[in-house]
Structure 1
Amino acid sequence: MSELEDGPAVVRRAYPEDLPRVVELIAEHAAYEKAAPPAAGLADRLAALLFGPGEPRLRCLVAELPDGTLAGYASCAPEISTWDGAEYLHMDCLYLTEASRGHGLGPLLMAAVRTEASRLGLAEIQWQTPAWNESAIRFYDRLGATSKEKHRYSLRTGA
């Protein structure tokens, strides 16, 4: 837990009723990274990935403030490294509202992602951040994470 002015914040798994706020946070995150906003219907697509039958394909952890407000999220999913011949946990997103940064919520979210990786028996977490996001890079460096220079590409399939 992180101690804020009003008491401790907690990180927990997202609940279905959190989806409207999580979608708002995702839209804020996209704007922060100067990306296009999420497409319509995101809450429904996420609901299927997070809360569908069986083991969820996607995990979403939320940072909840003492007043119940969700101040950020991290999303992750198991992936496979061909080079290592092993699974790892891919953290797709970690985002905190501007007002919530610097209060210890980032380390709480990262600890929860590490716990999720351990729970799944995965020895590594991988993620990326924009090269211009110097505060995120400093945060990840302080955690002891290492970086690799790569370019991320995206190609639409038409499906």
Structure 2
Amino acid sequence: MKIRKAEKKDIPRILELLGQVLQIHAEIRPDIFIPGTIKYTLCELTELLKQEDKPVYVAVDEDDLCMGYAFCQLREQPFSTNMVSFKSLFIDDLCVDKQARGQHIGESLFEYVKQQAKELGCYEVTLNVWTGNTSAEHFYEKMGMKTKERQMEYIL
């Protein structure tokens, strides 16, 4: 397994994996997510891969086939004037092909993202997990992540 920045040739496979993630989210939150859709269009994904502050990393097998990805965003803190200034790397989305889960691909991707964050001078790596996605919660806790803040909602 090799991890590298995503390239244009990876787009069809990434789109496939985006569908897998959306399905998980649609099962957890059918009130928000529309089954059978994906987060990015082909054009949006093509443009996203060109953005330096939003790196996309892929885990590829020996045939250079994308088996998982991590969409990241480099963020500058603070969001207000009362916080110390620092950089963070936000994992917007991390996915491993459902057929390849259990092979430590997610762990490898996460460790790679942590290393990239260090090289970029980041203070932290952050992400959001939907309530109900217990497998993701357990995975990230196993990787050493802790809850930083909780966002709550009241549905009208």
Question: What is the RMSD computed on CA atoms of the aligned residues?
Answer: 2.0
Q: Is the 8 A contact 1:90 1:127 kept in 2?
A: yes
- 1:44 aligns with 43
Q: CA deviation at 1:49?
A: 2.4
Q: What is the aligned counterpart of 1:32 among 24, 27, 32?
A: 24
Q: CA deviation at 1:66?
A: 2.4
What letter is aligned with 2:98? E
Please say if 1:66 is aligned against 2:35. Answer: no
| 1:55-134 matched pairs, under 5 angstroms | 56-82=52-78, 83-134=83-134
Show structure 2 runs of 5+ residues with no match: 27-32
**CA–CA distance in 2 between the matches of 1:57 and 1:46?**
14
Greater displacement, 99-108 / 144-153: 144-153
TM-score normalised to structure 1 length: 0.79
SS at match of 2:49: helix
**CA–CA distance in 2 between the matches of 1:26 and 1:48?**
16
Identity of aligned residues (%): 26
Q: Is the 8 A contact 2:48 2:54 kept in 1?
A: yes
Q: Is the 8 A contact 1:50 1:57 kept in 2?
A: no
Q: CA deviation at 1:28?
A: 1.7
Greater displacement, 28-37 / 143-152: 143-152
What letter is aligned with 1:74? A
- 1:13 aligns with 5
How many residues of Structure 1 are paired with residues of Structure 2 in the alignment? Answer: 141
- CA deviation map 1:10-56 (0-9, x unaligned): 221111111121122112211121123236x722222222225xxx1
SS at match of 1:111: helix
**CA–CA distance in 1 between the matches of 2:24 and 2:64?**
23
- CA deviation map 1:119-148 (0-9, x unaligned): 211121110111211111111111111013
SS at match of 1:147: coil
Q: Is the 8 A contact 2:86 2:123 kept in 1?
A: no
Q: CA deviation at 1:149?
A: 4.4
- CA deviation map 1:35-93 (0-9, x unaligned): 23236x722222222225xxx13111111122332111101011133234222111100
